[in-house]
Chains A and B, each alone.
Chain A
Amino acid sequence: MATTRILEWVGRFYVVLLLGFLYLPIIIMAAMSFNASPFYQLPFEWTTDWYASLWQNDQLIAATWNSIEIAIITTLISTVLGSMASLALYRYEFRGKKVLQALLFPPIAIPWLITGTAMLIFFFGVGIGRGLVAILLGHVALALPYVIVVVSARLQTFAPELEEAARSLGANQWQVTMRVTLPWIMPGVIAGGLFAFAVSFDQFVVSYFLSTPGQTTLPVEIYAAIRKGFTPEINAVSTIIIVVSMALMLLTARFFKFGGEK
């Protein structure tokens, strides 16, 4: 009995340690965004000045909006294209399907630094150059394989008789997809969309290569700001983003138990 109790305490301690490892830096950063001293000096003195001055920082706010816009558009485009690709790969047999499927995964493993360089060269070659359009195209390309992997995994659990049953009841291909297949893969589509959003919103390397001084995203802007000199405004904007993205994650997890039955 005593051993069980000790093990229980060790287990608890371990979990606390693990969560501390994950969250401590974030909590300190969030706390410092409310501390009056710009140099992380204690004692702690409550202030919301950094949030107020963040509101005045047009550059940072513009970059934040760019990031949000690009992430949302990337999510929409890559989720729709990726889900359609997964359905096509699931439903049809065609020449070169195996090769195509195999070639979908390596881009995930290629370092973003290299992908970014390649994209920069390519976009200059074809005349797109740098800027928000280039960043968006780059993000969609990065996010697509993730969506296809997640949606295809969900499709593996789909019973093909369901499509057959729907067809036997007179449903055409479109009705079968919209009313039977799509509802089933929806948790996968949402999860794929979250991945796509995260890949885009977190993206620094590829965005850094493809941005220009006026047209940039939040991670690139934060990096630039830190190089010029650190201000707690960065803490403030980071805290806002953490709160919003954690809320989004928890909300999604609440509605969709990924992988399992609803």
Chain B
Amino acid sequence: MAGVQVANVSRSFGAHKALDNVSIDFADGGFYALLGPSGSGKTTLLRQIAGFDFPDSGRIAIGGESVERVPVEKRRIGMVFQNYALFPNMSVADNVAFGLSVRGEAKATIATEVQRALDLVQLGKLGGRKPHQLSGGQRQRVALARAIVTKPRVLLLDEPLGALDKALRVDMQIELKRIQREIGITTIFVTHDQEEALTMSDRIGILRDGRLVQEGPPEEIYDRPQSEFAATFLGDANIFRGDATGSGIKLPDGTTIAASTGASVPAGAKASCAVRPERIRISTGATKPDPAGANMLTGQVSKRIFAGNNSTYFVDRDGQTLKVIVQNTGAERLAEGQPVVLSWSPGSTVLIAAA
């Protein structure tokens, strides 16, 4: 078991900069998500850590030992591939045994370890099956057992749940997390699914165009995004753009929005504010007034989407459509076309410096 340090890693393919000076510290035993849209460099970064590809510059260390020029077969990592990559000619048990067998472990040791790994992923009785006789979720578990049976220093997962349907994916998320806790292995997990990143990981690194946009615990990134991209890629956000006032921003129409979290931007500079849809209160204006200092805007409901436990209102305001999510508390629902007042606290408003 070991931590992983990535320091100033760059990698280009021709003119395309797949990774541009990326540095992340993955602490020992943590569960990390690398999140980003396709082409953001997240898979390239994972392949550098695995050793399938070497960086043009920068340093990669596993457990304090520099490995950036060590080929994958000598790095002692475990990897789970997007399509599982199980060996079709081998049984489940032989698949899991592969890593121990190429190392020349004794037959008895291999049998014990394979059984233990299969038990851990709850496939103890299926060792004799061939991969094509398994369901998607079972293949996933075999791939995981195969990756951890060799006791690797770090576990790398490349969109491992991408091929599963929604219900199974949620089951596997819980399962994966349980197994990771049980063996306490440093885990780095590539995904483009923000929900998966939020629910599973201790820390998230958001990548875009080969650069690390923001890195930190999920709560921190969600509550205090440092860029419009981070705000809108991880969760939903309403973005207002204007000039910084020192305590918020002033919109082009003169409205001021107070913000008490986020970056400090010198007055007069371009800046934006991000507000999460569930932090906004929506009312017809006739109810009791908001606490002093709350941000307030008026608009008109253009659309309502009912989702059972909550409703999403789309509110038009000065050419901008704002999104508001309201929990289903049994309160009166607002009709489309109705004029409304939106209010939210400065504490729910994140100030972001213009890029």
Chain A residues with a Cβ under 8 A of chain B: 159, 161-162, 164-172, 175, 179-180, 183-184, 261-262
Contact = CB atoms under 8 A, between A and B. Distances in A.
Nearest to B158: A161
B146 interface: yes
B98 A159 contact: no
B91 to A, nearest CB: 13
Contact of B87 (A166, A167, A168): A166
14 contacts: A161-B81, A162-B85, A162-B87, A162-B88, A165-B86, A166-B102, A167-B72, A168-B77, A169-B73, A170-B102, A172-B73, A179-B102, A180-B89, A262-B89
Contacts, number: 68
Nearest to B83: A161
Contact of B50 (A166, A168, A172, A179): A168
B150 A170 contact: yes
A180 to B, nearest CB: 6
B132 interface: yes
A165 B88 contact: no
B73 A184 contact: no
Given A170-B76, A172-B73, A164 B88 contact: no
B89 A168 contact: no
B2 interface: no
Interface in B59-98: 71-74, 76-79, 81, 83, 85-89, 98
Interface size range on B against A: 20 to 34
Given A168-B78, A170-B76, A159 B85 contact: yes
B137 interface: no
A165 B81 contact: yes
A167 B71 CA distance: 9
Contacts of A168: 50, 52, 72-73, 77-79, 147
Contacts of B102: 166, 169-172, 175, 179
Interface string B141-169: 00000110010000000000000000000
B98 A166 contact: yes
Contacts of B50: 168
A166 B81 CA distance: 11
Nearest to B143: A165
Contacts of A166: 87, 98, 102
B112 to A, nearest CB: 18
A164 B79 CA distance: 9
Given A167-B73, A168-B77, A170-B150, A184 B89 contact: yes
Contacts of A165: 79, 81, 85-87, 146
B103 interface: yes
Given A164-B52, A169-B99, A261 B88 contact: yes
A170 B74 CA distance: 6
Contacts of A183: 87, 89
A262 B89 CA distance: 9
B146 A169 contact: yes
Contacts of A161: 81, 83, 85
Contacts of A175: 102
B149 to A, nearest CB: 9
Interface in B304-332: none
A204 B78 CA distance: 55
Given A179-B102, A183-B87, 8 more contacts: A159-B83, A162-B88, A164-B52, A164-B72, A165-B146, A168-B50, A180-B87, A184-B88
Contact of A164 (B81, B98, B99, B103): B81
A77 to B, nearest CB: 26
